[in-house]
Amino acid sequence: MKRRRSITKAKICLAFFLSLTIANPILPRASACTRLIYQTGNGTYITGRTMDWMDPNAQTALWVFPRGMKRDGGIGANPIKWTSKFGSISTSFYDIGTADGMNERGLVINLLYLKETDWGKVDEAKTKTLSAGAWGQYFLDNYATVEEAIKDMANPPFAILAPALPNGHAAGIHLSISDASGDSAILEYIEGKLVIHHSRKHVVMTNSPTFDQQLALNTYWEKIGGDKFLPGTISAADRFVRTTHHLNLSPKYKDQELAVASVFSQIRSVSVPLGMSDANNPNIAMTLWRTVADQQSKIFYFESAIFPAVSWIDMNKVDLSEGAAPKTIRIERGNPLSGELSAKLVKAEPFKWLGVK
């Protein structure tokens, strides 16, 4: 009898979710990256993400940027200018922007695809501008904590310009930031306005629908109970629910190696198999790589879906001082990486932001 009730309940849950899918056709297509924040047993934090994209040949590199770099927004009539306050380790995407990174104070940024992004109209004569490719790096360069960043964004010092990506698809993205204290925020441009979701409870993020709708869907599934039934597709809504459930159940390891391994195991569990993609919907895509940022130890881990090993850069082993040269290492097939990479980094000119000729 109990088994029959469980099966019936599962069918009801499935029917309900299918009704949501029919009512909102965005949901089954909205699958790509996943990001989570894990609290260790020592009260420190680790942020992990998957990078899911339709183009397996998208150029990727790991970068080390020092303090004191002169930067600008790259495009527009009046690009914003700044000097980096903090050194950082970053992952570049298509050699036109920072997709992930951690600075020396433990602030982590992750950019994820968001189909609903609407940057709004920009009056370049009156507003300083910033390339979408520079959005994440601006935060790494300027802020030590989420609180600092959110206060600044109450009146954003720039508007974002977002030309198409090199593969022709729109640069629709939303930004997550987390810091060494476990604080978290999600930033989205919806209907031309910056919307900020700021809470230490925002430990999971995926893609479409917008973050407020993701929270609502997750509330429903929490009532069902993940030990009985969990949605299993690769859609963003399903991955949000599964990631939240796994994160809540995961032990808070005091052993740092086990803590990092826990984050890797969780983001691997929501990765998308290599080769799965939809040419008309770049947000339905395979996992190309995963990053894990240990915000206490200041170690930035990288795992390619192709290479059979994990590599990392220990921030304590690189020169982040003002005047130091930026350094990089390419992520390329035929050149598998593993282990600590600081000795393999080479000096290089920083990449140009999206839209810069």
Distance in angstroms (rounded) separating the CA atoms of residues 268 and 245: 14
Is residue 133 assigned to a domain?
yes
| Residue 143 CB partners (closer than 8 Å, separation 6+) | 86, 103, 107, 149, 152, 177
Q: What does pLDDT average to over the chain?
A: 86
| Residue 310 CB partners (closer than 8 Å, separation 6+) | 264, 301, 302, 303, 338
Distance in angstroms (rounded) separating the CA atoms of residues 258 and 158: 41
pLDDT at 282: 59
> pTM for the full model?
0.86
Assigned token pair, 20: 């949501």
Is residue 354 assigned to a domain?
no
Q: Looking at 102-111, 214-223, 235-244, 313-322, which range is the least confident one? A: 214-223
Domain that holds residue 23: 13-347
Least Cα distance to 290 among 99, 54, 137, 63 occurs for: 99
Give the tens place of pLDDT for each residue, 177-220: 999 999 999 999 999 999 999 999 999 988 776 777 666 665 65
pLDDT at 168: 82
Give the tens place of pLDDT for each residue, 273-332: 888 776 666 566 889 999 999 999 999 999 999 887 899 999 999 999 999 999 999 999
Is residue 315 assigned to a domain?
yes
Is residue 3 assigned to a domain?
no
Is residue 7 assigned to a domain?
no
What's the number of domains the chain is made of? Answer: 1
Q: Residue holding tokens 């909205």? A: 30
Stretch 119-128: mean pLDDT, rounded? 90
Distance in angstroms (rounded) separating the CA atoms of residues 82 and 209: 33
Is residue 352 assigned to a domain?
no
CB 173 within 8 A of CB 191: no
Query: What's the longest Cα–Cα distance across the chain?
Result: 72
Task: Output the domain CATH number for residue 288.
Answer: 3.60.60.10
Assigned token pair, 325: 């040269």
Strand-by-strand arrangement of the 327-331 sheet: 193-198, 184-190, 173-178, 108-113, 98-103, 88-93, 60-65, 327-331, 346-347
Distance in angstroms (rounded) separating the CA atoms of residues 103 and 140: 6
Give the tens place of pLDDT for each residue, 27-70: 334 346 889 999 999 999 999 999 998 888 889 999 999 999 99
Q: Which residue has better confidence, 319 or 20?
A: 319
User: Residue 279: exposed, middle, or buried by beta-carbon count in 10 A (0-12, 13-18, 19+)?
Assistant: exposed
Give the tens place of pLDDT for each residue, 133-164: 999 999 999 999 999 999 999 999 999 999 98
pLDDT at 30: 38
Distance in angstroms (rounded) separating the CA atoms of residues 210 and 114: 8
- pLDDT above 90 covers a percentage of the chain that reads 63
pLDDT at 18: 40
Distance in angstroms (rounded) separating the CA atoms of residues 159 and 315: 31
Strand 286-294 vs strand 310-314: parallel, antiparallel, or unpaired?
Answer: unpaired
Is residue 23 assigned to a domain?
yes
Stretch 13-19: mean pLDDT, rounded? 42
Q: 79: which DSSP letter?
A: B
Active site residues: 33
Angle between helices 146-153 and 135-142 (to 10 degrees): 120
Q: 167: which DSSP letter?
A: T
Is residue 49 assigned to a domain?
yes
